[in-house]
Each structure stands twice: as structure tokens, then as C-alpha cells.
Structure 1
Amino acid sequence: MTMQPAPVDILLALFACMSLYKLFFSRKYPLPPGPNGWPLIGNAFDMPKTHAWKTFAEWGKIWGPIMSIKVLGTPFIIISDPEIADEMLGKSGSLYADRPTVQMALLTGWDRALSGARYNARFREYRKLIGKIIGTKTSMMKFYPIEDYQANMSLKRIFQKPEDPASAIRKTAGAMVLHLSYGYKILEDQPDPFIAKAEFAMEQFSDIHRTGAYAVEIFPFLKYLPAWVPFAGFKRKAAECIDPCNEMADVPFAYVKEQLDKGEENNSFAADLLKDKNITSEKLTDLKWSVASFYAAGSDTTVSVVYSYLLAALLYPEVQRKAQAEVDSVVGKDRLPSFQDRDSLQYIEALVKELYRWLPIVPLAVPHRAMKDDVFRGYFIPKDSLVFVNVWYFLHDPTVYKDPSTFNPDRFLGPDPEPNPIDRGLFGYGRRICPGAHLADVSVWINIVKAVAGIEVSPAIDEKGQVKMPVPETTDGIIVRPIPFECVVKPRSEHLLHVLEEALKDGENIN
């Protein structure tokens, strides 16, 4: 009698075949080049602790535009060429659409946010919900009045506290997105609780996503350590983040539900999503976190870019003068610029592009994850490889951008303009491209053009009468902004203050 193989034998044989295939496959196609690492740990201790995009740029010069390192057996693929990034991440369908598991996000609850969501049904639902409301330039027009009003309020807030324009910018960015997202108008004469919660939560979000900052990302087994162990400081940090993370999503969403239950008018993003009366608890969670993700993306983008404008106006006063001259010639001085002026303000358009390029908001894009083995340009990319895209280098490559460290909007004007930063990964790639890109574009543009029209920026003076000039450096983290600096801001004229007062009166009743 012929013996039939046992199921376990079949499984072992299949496993052996798969292992042999993968071994042959990986030998036939090598990993991208990179530095040698140590046994077992690979290049774990080579990972930069801060401003990783600068270290990755130097590695790219040595090892090429697509290189690799290994961290505890996981390949890290680092891309320093936008064409490679576009081909790999933008034209490969869902193959690289996943995100890695961020241990600190799991420990804090931030894994529910869109930016780090795995490529699954929840992710697709988030994008569908966001795309439904702000997925096109045309759909954003509904929110122009809110954007315009809040940008005018930004000027008022800055003039009320000219010694600290950064806080006014942060307040405005939060106010604008809260207004759009939840129909909530912040308290102006005292600290606003919604703004405070959101700012605190977003600081924690950026911190826990810093590349290589927490050992648990390199050694995931550490998450099982009790919090009192000396090497488990990350665990204590994570515990501090849980409540702020939950409150950022829960508190403003509850405000919208309460308003709608009372029959009050609310034309916000969240209110539009809640019009469906047959919402399951699971769908409600998706709604809540899609709106929270919308807030997270919109507020930090605006803060970073507008603060960068003040820095650029200080370091390059000729840019400020040229931008003001264009606004004055097109708009005049008897009203503030609005969206209807956009097509006529070409230098302002170039100025915004240069702000995106000079100090990019997300210099090292959130990593993608390979969902299966792949061969790309003759290199083997194993399943679960993490793909890092160095957007900062894309926008500071001296072979593409002349004098990349110099702030120069003119590079985007004339018959042979340099590449638009938006086309070089500024808002991501493929199925992970930011669904709020149209919102970011609108919010940044209106705030920049109002700042140009209304504010005169000049250097601060120290106690010895010396000019205090800042350094154009950024904070660390997944979303960055300029390092805090001092400057003097004031209205461009007394007449401007009257024009602003009238504009604010016209916008008081916007919901």
C-alpha cells in the first residue's frame, strides 16, 4: 500500500520550497547597496537620532539614489531621487501603500490617525470620507469664506501680541481648522481649551514619530517591559500621550454632535459626515478619526509655512518688499487680498512654492512598507522592507535647485522655472498622498498673502543695540517648523488697521 504524506509533511515541504525560492531569488537580485552592519543588529546603531534627512542625504551621496541598511533584520530602503520614488511608490499600485507598525503609535493610540494607518479597509474609509468633502479644488471653494475670515483674524491676533507672532500663528492655524472641521469658533479673549488640547496632542504626535528616537522602534520586544524598568522611559512617555490623543478626537467631535442634536446650524466637515442618521459605532469611530486626521494635517502645515515666511522676510528683506509691491499693484490698499486675486499674483504664488521648498514641512516622508517581495531596477526589495523618501534632499539637490539653501522665489518664475515642490513628493506618493493637499494649498496661500499685505517684519534688537538675526533651521520630528526666533512685526500702516476692521465686520456671521 502506498503511504500518503501527512499534512505536516506537506507543510514542511512547502515551507522548504518557499525558503529555497526566496534564497535563490535574493541571491539572484541583491539588496540595494549600503554600509556593512553588525551581525544580528545590522545598522541599528548607525540610525541618526535627530534630523535624519540630513544624514540620509550624505549616505545617498556615498551609496547612490537607492540604498539600503538593515536594522535587526528589517531592510530600510532610502531613496534620494524623486523619479525613483515616483516609480516605486506612485506607479506600483498598492505594493508599497502600507505603513510600518510604529510601536509608539500603538502604545499611545495614534495608530488610529490616517498618516500611520495600515493599508486596509479603515484606511480606505478614511480617505473616502475626507475626499468626499475636500477631495477637489472645487469642493474647497465652499470653505473660502471661513478661510478668508480666519486669515484676517490672524492679522488681528498678531497685532494684539506683536512680541509673540508665533503664538498668534499657531492660534490661527488651530482656529481655522477647528472652524472648518467642527464649526467651532475659538475663544479670543482667553486661552481656548480646544486649541490647547490640539496643540499639546500634536506636539506629542510629532515627537513619537521621530525616526530612531525611541529604542522600542528598533527593538519591539521592549514594549513588554514594565514602565518602572530604567530602560522603559518610552513606556512612561507613551502613557502620558494616551489621554491627550483621545481628547483631541473625542472632545470637538462631541461638540458637533451636541450642536446637531440641538438643531443648531453647523456647516463643518464633521457635520457633513454626521448627516447620515444610520451610523454604526464602528463607522462613528471612522468619522471621528478621519476628522481628527484632517485637523492634524491642516493645522501644522499652515503653522510651519507661515512661520517660515516671517523668517524669510527677516533674512531676505528684498523678498518682502517685492511681494508687498505686487499685492499693492494688483489689490491696492483699500481692501485685503482674497481668493479672487490669486491668478493675478504670480510672485506670491512663487513665494509660496519657495516656502514649501526651503524648509519642507515633512522633510522625511512617513515610511512606506513593502507588502510583498519585489524586484525594482534589478534590486531585491523583501516583503516588510521600510521605504524612506528623502523629500528634503529632493528639494535641496543643487543639481536641480540653484543655491538650494538660498531663499529665492524667482527660481519659479520666467521661461525656465525650477520644478514645483508639490511635484517632488511634498504631499507624499501614490495611494498615500495627502488627501488634504487641497486644504493645505488653500490655507497656506490665503494666510501668506494676508501676511504680505498687512505685516511689516523687521529684525529684533538686543540690549546692546545689535541686530538679532535668526538661523534658518527647523525642529526635529515628522512635521517640522522653524526653530523659534525673535522679530518685530507691525501693521504696514494705520490705514491697514481700518481696512482690517471693516473686513472682520463683514465676516463676523460666517458659520
Structure 2
Amino acid sequence: MPSATVDILFALFACFYLYKLLFTRKYPLPPGPKGWPLIGNAFDMPKTHAWRTFAEWGKKWGPILSIQVLGTPFIIISDPEIADDLLGKTGSLYADRPTVQMALLTGWDRALSGARYNARFREYRKLIGKVIGTKGSMTKFYPVEDYQANMSLKRIFQKPENPASAIRKTAGAMVLHLTYGYKILEDQPDPFIAKAELAMEQFSDTHRTGAYIVEIFPILKYLPTWFPFAEFKRKAVECIGPCNEMADVPFAYVKEQLDKGEENNSFAADLLKDKSNSSEKLVDLKWSVASFYGAGSDTTVAVVYSYLLAAILNPEIQRKAQAEVDSVVGKDRLPSFQDRDSLPYIEALVKELYRWLPIVPLAVPHRAMKDNLFRGYYIPKNSLVFVNVWYFLHDPTVYKDPSTFNPDRFLGSNPEPSPIDRGLFGYGRRVCPGAHLADVSVWINIVKVVAGIEVSPAVDEKGQVKMPVPETTDGIIVRPIPFECVVKPRSEYLLHVLEEALKDGEK
């Protein structure tokens, strides 16, 4: 081998060694469990409820730890201050999302939550921000929100054996009304609601951390669908159609109405009135609008369903909340947004619902966009950063008896930290743009349910009480596991008050 070639190879080796010396040794990765050669910790990744495993790792390895999965560092954060500093103060370095293989295979890579940090992402957020970007911007939606929350009570009373179905229907009805100007069918299953619910269930399942082997071995995405180990591929095929329909069908409905000259004052209609939109622009509009559904519906469903669970397990809290509403609002009308500042216990109740069973317990991971040094640790480009929001909200050094449902923790002269300030809606440039919409929707639905419904546990055929378990489903967005309960109006007079409120709302 010529000496010049040897010199070049030696120089390259020396540069590589120097790089490793400066960054890998002087600035190590955060500590963490030891992995295997080549595959790292691929087989240590939990298959379900990953936030619990990550919390245990955090207790052992510290508030910022790392594992390696096939050469990709996973940075796991169990301290909100670290999350604030890393993802908030240096947010531009971590504004990207990782490539989720199942999102690519199903079409969900077009949605805002998983969009890469690029021009399309910024366009999505700009479009959504125009409508729901501030607390003040939500006031114009109060009449629709109030009406749909009243309708939720009516739907629950019509099918008291299945309140979860009524809650889901209401959340979907509210978002479809605001976003597409579409009013759902009340006397039969609504096709738009059915499509959206199926799509969102599949979205949550396909984004579960570590659930699909293709996320660990991306090359497997090239396997044919019939291959024995390609179950993930067959699952993806099932999801493509519902994913497309959730975005396409209601958007086409709005376009058809506008083409016919019919009135539609929805968010989608406002965007579509610009006739200069290119075909590429229309795709962006369609998916930014579709992102509304996840922003408003899943949060409301999960938190209201959690309230029913909490009311069964803690009947004294249900009575205390009802007493506050009765004292402020009375029994001749239902509560409305004008009462919010006068209902501090309801406000605390909502915060505790957010904290107790957080809807996104393990925030959607961020991706490091370049090499970074943080608190003496080296975080390489393309590292995935996971924020354990569930642990933030169940840290026993911050929240007394964190497994206990107790709204009083947010009242008094020394309240515990609000969940909203501890990553509930995300961090940095990936903070949820629908946070204000979710806050308004959750509050009005909770206060209506408190005012109107009495919740108690179900009883089996032998007369034994069937107490539910405070546990959630798995996935990126979670809700309580299904349970049985008994719901009924608090009084016959309440039904009269509800009907009058609905008549006023339809005027």
C-alpha cells in the first residue's frame, strides 16, 4: 500500500479517535442500563405501559438516563425541570419528531402530531393558531361548546347503560361542528363519528412505544404482507383506509357545501374560500383541519370518563363538587362558562383528573436535530427524547399520596403544582396547539356532568358491587379501561331544566 494512502488512513483514524475521546469519554451519554452489542437495549423496551418501566429506570439511573436501541440513543427524562431546560429553553434543537415506521405505513405521518419540523409543520401550526391559538380566541366557540355539553347529558340519559358512548359521541360532535360545520345524526349511528373514532383508536395503537418490531428494525418494513413475521404490516394495511377517510370524507363534505353555495361558517370553510389554493396547499389544509379531531376529542373523552371513574371510587368528592355547583349556580339552570371563576373546587377537580390518569402519559418523543451538550452529557444528533409526564404527575416528593384522587391538593395557601405546568400538553415548539380548545371542552363537560348526573357503581346479578379499577389503556393517548356504572339524573326537575337549556341553545 502506498505510504501516502497509509498516512491518509492513519490521519482519518486519528480524527475518529480524537472525536470519540472528546465527546464519548469527556462527555458521556447519560447513564442507563447496559445493553448488548449491536442491538443495545432493543429487547429491554417495554411492550406495554412504557411510562411505568421508564419511571423505575429513572429511580435507579437518575432523572436523565439513556439506552441504546440499534445504535440510536433514547434519552428518557424523569424530571420536569430537565424537560423544561432541554425541550423548552433549547427547543429549536429538539423540535423534530422521529420517523415512526408505523406512521409511514399507515399514512399518519401526514398528521400534525408526527409531522417533521419543516415548512409543512409550521404551516399546520399557523393555520390552527389562527382559530384556537389563544384563550381569547375560544370565546367565540362557547355557544357550541355549551350546547354540545348539554347534549352530552341528554345522550347519557338516553343510554345510561353506556355513558362512555355518549361521551365519545359528544366530543366528536363538538369537533365536527366547529371544524367542518357538520351536525351529527342523533337518532342513528353517525358515519363521520364512526370513521373518526376508528381512526383515532388505530392511531393510538400504532404509536405505542416499543409495541411493533418494525420500530426497532426499520428494514422489516420491506417484508411482504404475507410474511410470517409481518403482522405489523397487516395491521398497517387495516389502518390506511380509516386514516384517509378521517381526513378526506368531512373535508369533501365542506367542499361540496361550498360548491353548492350553502352556508358553512366552519374553520375548514374559511380556509377553502380562498380559490387560489393549489392542490398541494389543499392537502396541507385538509390535514391541519383533521388534526383538530385529536386536539379536542380524545382529551375530552378521556377526562370526562375519568371523572365517572373517580366519582364511583370517591363518592364524597362527587357530593362536594355537586354542593359547590348548587351553591353558586342553583338548580334552576345549568352551569355555563360565566360561572367558571366562581367554582374553584371544580377547577381543582379538573386539574386532579388531568394529573391522576394523564391522557398522554409518555409524551410523543422529540428528535435531537444536531449534537448537543447538556449538563455534562453528550446527546448525539438523532437521539430520541422521551418525557415521562406520568411520573412528573405521580412523583411522591411533589404530590402527596399520588395514587389517591384528591382535588384538595390544588387548593389552599400551598397548592401542589398544576399538571398544565408539568408537561401535560407537551414542550417547546411541539406544545399542543389545541391546548386551549381541550381546556374549554373539558371544563364545560365536567361541570355539566357534575351538575346533572349521579354516578354509582354497578351491581352484579348477586347484588355484589362491581368496583372499577383505576387503570388505563395503553397507547400514545390513553383513557380508563372500560368499566360498568350506574348513571341517572340528579332529579326529575333537572330533566326539565336540561330541555329548556337545549331549546335556548337551538335558537
Q: Match of 2:269?
A: 271
Q: 1:373 to 1:22 in 2, by over 3 A?
A: farther
* Equivalent residue for 2:287, pick from 283, 289, 299: 289
2:461 aligned with 1:463, yes or no?
Answer: yes
2:498 aligned with 1:500, yes or no?
Answer: yes
Determine the C-alpha separation between the residues in 1 that align with 2:263 and 2:315: 45
Cα offset, 1:276, TM superposition? 2.0
Q: Match of 2:163?
A: 165
Determine the C-alpha separation between the residues in 1 that align with 2:185 and 2:424: 33
* Equivalent residue for 1:123, pick from 121, 124, 142: 121
Determine the C-alpha separation between the residues in 2 that align with 1:247 and 1:55: 35
What SS is found at the alignment partner of 2:24? helix
Determine the C-alpha separation between the residues in 2 that align with 1:41 and 1:312: 42
What SS is found at the alignment partner of 2:486? strand
Q: Match of 1:385?
A: 383
Cα offset, 1:180, TM superposition? 1.0
Q: Match of 1:317?
A: 315
* Equivalent residue for 1:353, pick from 346, 351, 354: 351
Q: Match of 1:343?
A: 341
Q: Match of 1:136?
A: 134
Determine the C-alpha separation between the residues in 2 that align with 1:499 and 1:227: 56
Gaps of 5+ in 1: none
Determine the C-alpha separation between the residues in 1 that align with 2:437 and 2:16: 46
Determine the C-alpha separation between the residues in 1 that align with 2:422 and 2:107: 31
* Equivalent residue for 1:106, pick from 83, 104, 107: 104
Q: Match of 1:488?
A: 486
Say if 2:295 and 2:433, in contact at 8 Å, map to a contact too.
no
Determine the C-alpha separation between the residues in 1 that align with 2:187 and 2:506: 16
Cα offset, 1:263, TM superposition? 2.1
Q: Match of 2:430?
A: 432
What SS is found at the alignment partner of 1:427? coil
Cα offset, 1:10, TM superposition? 9.9
What SS is found at the alignment partner of 1:321? helix
Cα offset, 1:506, TM superposition? 1.2
Amino acid across the alignment from 1:220? P
Report the more deviating stretch, 148-157 or 275-284: 275-284
The 5-angstrom pairing of residues 42-441 of structure 1 reads 42-441=40-439
Cα offset, 1:280, TM superposition? 1.0
What SS is found at the alignment partner of 1:388? strand
- The CA deviation string for residues 81-100 of structure 1, in whole angstroms up to 9 with x for no partner, is 00000000011031011100
Say if 2:164 and 2:305, in contact at 8 Å, map to a contact too.
yes
Cα offset, 1:265, TM superposition? 1.9
Q: Match of 2:473?
A: 475
Q: 1:127 to 1:174 in 2, by over 3 A?
A: same
- Give RMSD over aligned pairs: 1.7
Q: 1:225 to 1:505 in 2, by over 3 A?
A: same
Taking structure 1 as the reference length, the TM-score comes to: 0.96
Amino acid across the alignment from 1:445? W
Q: 1:266 to 1:15 in 2, by over 3 A?
A: farther
What SS is found at the alignment partner of 2:91? coil
Say if 2:74 and 2:385, in contact at 8 Å, map to a contact too.
yes
Determine the C-alpha separation between the residues in 2 that align with 1:502 and 1:11: 84
- The CA deviation string for residues 196-220 of structure 1, in whole angstroms up to 9 with x for no partner, is 0000001100000000000000000
Q: 1:245 to 1:11 in 2, by over 3 A?
A: farther
Report the more deviating stretch, 21-30 or 193-202: 21-30
Q: 1:19 to 1:102 in 2, by over 3 A?
A: farther
Determine the C-alpha separation between the residues in 2 that align with 1:52 and 1:482: 16
Determine the C-alpha separation between the residues in 2 that align with 1:201 and 1:402: 38
Determine the C-alpha separation between the residues in 1 that align with 2:9 and 2:140: 58
- The CA deviation string for residues 410-464 of structure 1, in whole angstroms up to 9 with x for no partner, is 0000000000000000000000000000000000000000000000001111111
Q: 1:120 to 1:200 in 2, by over 3 A?
A: same
Sequence identity, in percent?
Answer: 90
Determine the C-alpha separation between the residues in 2 that align with 1:360 and 1:387: 19
* Equivalent residue for 1:443, pick from 433, 441, 444: 441
What SS is found at the alignment partner of 1:94? helix
Determine the C-alpha separation between the residues in 2 that align with 1:506 and 1:20: 74
Determine the C-alpha separation between the residues in 1 that align with 2:387 and 2:221: 27
Deviating 4+ runs (over 6 angstroms): 9-16
Cα offset, 1:262, TM superposition? 1.9
Amino acid across the alignment from 2:99? T
Determine the C-alpha separation between the residues in 2 that align with 1:290 and 1:508: 29
Amino acid across the alignment from 2:249? V
Taking structure 2 as the reference length, the TM-score comes to: 0.97
Determine the C-alpha separation between the residues in 2 that align with 1:124 and 1:17: 38
Amino acid across the alignment from 1:84? I
What SS is found at the alignment partner of 1:459? strand
Cα offset, 1:18, TM superposition? 6.7
Gaps of 5+ in 2: none
What SS is found at the alignment partner of 2:93? coil
**Number of matched pairs:** 503
